[in-house]
């Protein structure tokens, strides 16, 4: 069997890695990976400058989703896994140009602790009262139409909670907009709680109580003290000591001898009676199966001549763009940065920056002593125009906004960064808009009619690295299994 993989981001590489495993296990299959750019990795890209790890794209993955750490261990990077420094985890929201810490007890946008919620400067008294009244909301019938995250959060906690909480938190994850993102896809647990309990706060507290009771029961069964049964809290994020590029390099090394085509955008594909034709660099090659690991919009353009409805559905998945600006400073020239990992900026603050991370605090040991790395995010759905600005302008904007937000005493006008680095990610983040799940069901129905076709990547069932890896490996395993099946039936 010959398989084409279109796109060499993490999803395509995970698929290639799995096919390589099947091939070396003796299965008669070959694969070719076509990547439009001159390098593999897609959004994952890091460089080490004077000992400081500079992440141009993602800096880590969620620890609770195991697929990424599992893959890292499989490719020999177990010792390189680095947990986030959660002892110092504190995130601020910018409110009227002041940094206000997220109150203790927030879970998935839901306040669960009375005193920190009552005392926080993040919300007005009106919003706090509304948060108290939220406990009285009756259950909402299940099975209603999907809605935007903003409308779910506003119904429970008011517009200020959308502006100061939901929007900045989600734009930090999706580069997106709470008014567009699908509640059912992005916050499925909250939608379920709403239909069961009405109040999200009551739902969250009940979920917590259940978890505690379960831990107690397990402890009783095992004859251990309840506290001993409770696992030590895991770090929220995991990264790699040398940067996310380590994973790309390790995967590339494992598939190195296979057919990897760089600077090889696929220009057209065709479905034939017994397979697929793939055109790249003016050459047409035949394959039995195709794994699309490109963004959905690129897959949509290529698949439109094969299946117009599928092409249209894929093209209809919105994407956002983002920019990262890394600034490396001599720490002794800065004032003391606020404790914690960094801050998020609500759209209502009217800034170009969406967020800033104090990188040297989030992951220890990736920045040399005496250096501070600040990484800013810009762009998102509300500010795509920034992509056309020059590196110098973007660095100047970030330096000015940091000075205005953190204060002249922390980053004075005269403090020059020792190194700056700007990366632009055009249409890189899929947006799970309202109705996303219905769209995915329609896409799956069309894909089912096209044998040998698989779609993987961040547009479908999870935006983060672990989900992209999971989907890439699953698609490859399914195709490899068909090879085994064919082999077995031809032998019997």
Ligand X SMILES: Cc1cc2nc3c(=O)[nH]c(=O)nc-3n(C[C@H](O)[C@H](O)[C@H](O)COP(=O)(O)OP(=O)(O)OC[C@H]3O[C@@H](n4cnc5c(N)ncnc54)[C@H](O)[C@@H]3O)c2cc1C
Rounded to whole angstroms, the Cα distance separating 269 from 402 reads 47
Q: Hey, which residues between 55 and 94 contact ligand X (CB under 6 A)?
A: 57-61
Interface positions, 328-387, toward ligand X (CB under 6 A)? none
Of 18, 20, 35, 163, the residue at the interface with ligand X (CB under 6 A) is: 35
Residues forming beta bridges with residue 323, ordered by sequence position: 378, 424
Q: Write the burial class of residue 489 (CB in 10 Å: 0-12 exposed, 13-18 middle, 19+ buried).
A: exposed
Site string for ligand X, 410-449 (x = CB under 6 A): ---------------x--xx--------------------
Regarding 187 and contact with ligand X (CB under 6 A), the answer is no
Among 1, 3, 6, 99, binds ligand X (CB under 6 A): 6
Which of 322, 367, 381, 431 is the binder for ligand X (CB under 6 A)? 322
Q: Is 324 in the site for ligand X (CB under 6 A)?
A: yes
- Angle, helices 125-133/149-157, rounded to nearest 10 degrees: 90
Q: How many CB atoms lie within 10 A of CB 79?
A: 9
Among the candidate windows 36-44, 82-90, 339-347, 397-405, which touches ligand X by CB under 6 A?
A: 36-44
CB of 197 to ligand X, least distance (A): 30
Closer CB to ligand X, 57 or 340, in the complex: 57
CA 260 vs CA 10, 37, 379: distances in Å: 14, 12, 32
Residues 6+ apart with CB under 8 A from 108: 187, 189, 190, 204
Outline where DSSP puts E strands in 193-318. 237-240, 259-261, 266-272, 275-280, 283-287, 289-292
Tokens of 245: 């590029």
The CB-of-5 to ligand X minimum distance in angstroms stands at: 9
- Determine which residue in the list 1, 3, 4, 12 makes contact with ligand X, applying CB under 6 A: 12
Cβ-based nearer residue to ligand X, 197 or 425? 425
Which residues in the 237-276 window bind ligand X by CB under 6 A?
265-266
What lies within 8 Å, CB to CB, of 420 at 6+ separation is 325, 326, 327, 328, 391, 395
Verify binding: residue 53, ligand X, rule CB under 6 A: no
Q: Minimum distance between the CB of residue 56 and ligand X, rounded to whole angstroms?
A: 7
- The stretch among 34-42, 85-93, 310-318, 408-416 that binds ligand X (CB under 6 A) is 34-42
Query: Residue 306 in 3-state DSSP?
Result: coil
Classified as helix, coil or strand, 274 is: coil
When the beta carbons of 244 and 402 are compared against ligand X, the nearer one is: 244
Over the window 277 to 316, marking each residue x when it contacts ligand X by CB under 6 A and - when it does not, the resulting string is: ----------------xxx--x------------------
Q: Say how far apart CA 61 and CA 83 lie, in whole Å.
A: 10
Taking residues 462 to 491 in sequence order and writing x for each that binds ligand X by CB under 6 A, - otherwise, the string is -xxx--x-----------------------
Q: How far is CA 401 from CA 358, 377, 397, in A?
A: 15, 12, 6
Give the Cα separation of 104 and 106 in Å (integer).
6
Which residues of this protein are in contact with ligand X, per CB under 6 A?
Answer: 6-12, 34-37, 42-44, 57-61, 265-266, 293-295, 298, 322, 324, 425, 428-429, 457-458, 463-465, 468
């Amino acid at each position: 069997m010959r398989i084409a993989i279109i796109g060499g981001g993490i999803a395509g590489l995970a698929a290639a890695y799995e096919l390589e495993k099947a091939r070396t296990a003796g299965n008669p299959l070959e694969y070719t990976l076509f990547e439009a750019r001159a390098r593999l990795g897609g959004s994952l890209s890091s460089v080490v400058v004077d000992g400081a790890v500079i992440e141009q794209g993602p800096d880590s993955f969620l620890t609770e989703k195991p697929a990424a750490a599992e893959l890292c261990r499989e490719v020999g990077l177990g010792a390189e896994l680095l947990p986030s420094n959660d002892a110092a985890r504190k995130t601020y929201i910018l409110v009227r140009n002041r940094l206000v810490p997220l109150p203790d007890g927030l879970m998935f946008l839901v306040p669960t602790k009375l005193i920190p919620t009552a005392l926080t400067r993040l919300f007005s008294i009106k919003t706090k009262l509304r948060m108290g009244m939220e406990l009285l909301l009756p259950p909402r019938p299940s099975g209603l139409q999907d809605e935007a995250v903003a409308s779910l959060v506003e119904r429970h906690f008011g517009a200020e909670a959308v502006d100061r909480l939901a929007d900045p938190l989600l734009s930090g994850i999706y580069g997106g907009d709470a008014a567009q993102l699908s509640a059912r896809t992005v916050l499925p647990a909250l939608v379920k709680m709403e239909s069961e309990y009405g109040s999200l706060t009551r739902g969250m507290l009940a979920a917590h109580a259940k978890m505690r009771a379960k831990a107690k029961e397990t402890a009783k069964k095992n004859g251990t003290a309840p506290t001993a049964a409770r696992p030590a809290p895991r770090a929220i994020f995991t990264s790699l000591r040398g940067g996310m590029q380590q994973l790309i390099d390790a995967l590339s090394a494992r598939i190195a001898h296979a057919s990897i085509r760089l600077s090889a955008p696929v220009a057209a594909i065709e479905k034939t009676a017994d397979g697929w034709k793939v055109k790249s660099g003016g050459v047409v090659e035949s394959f039995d199966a195709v794994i699309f690991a490109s963004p959905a919009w690129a897959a949509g353009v290529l698949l439109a001549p094969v299946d117009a409805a599928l092409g249209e559905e894929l093209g209809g998945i919105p994407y956002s763009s983002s920019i990262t600006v890394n600034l490396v400073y001599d720490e002794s020239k800065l004032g003391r940065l606020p404790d914690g990992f960094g801050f998020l900026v609500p759209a209502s603050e009217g800034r170009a920056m969406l967020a800033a991370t104090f990188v040297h605090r989030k992951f220890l040991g990736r920045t040399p002593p005496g250096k501070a790395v600040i990484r800013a995010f810009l762009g998102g759905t509300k500010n795509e125009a920034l992509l056309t600005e020059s590196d110098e302008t973007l660095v100047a904007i970030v330096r000015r906004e940091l000075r205005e937000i953190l204060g002249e005493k922390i980053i004075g006008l005269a403090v020059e960064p020792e190194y700056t680095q700007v990366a632009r990610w055009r249409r890189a983040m899929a947006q799970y808009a309202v109705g996303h799940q219905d769209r995915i069901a329609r896409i799956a129905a069309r894909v089912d009619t096209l044998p040998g076709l698989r779609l993987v990547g961040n547009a479908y069932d999870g935006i983060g690295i672990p989900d992209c890896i999971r989907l890439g490996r699953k698609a490859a395993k399914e195709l490899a299994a068909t090879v085994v099946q064919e082999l077995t039936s031809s032998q019997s």
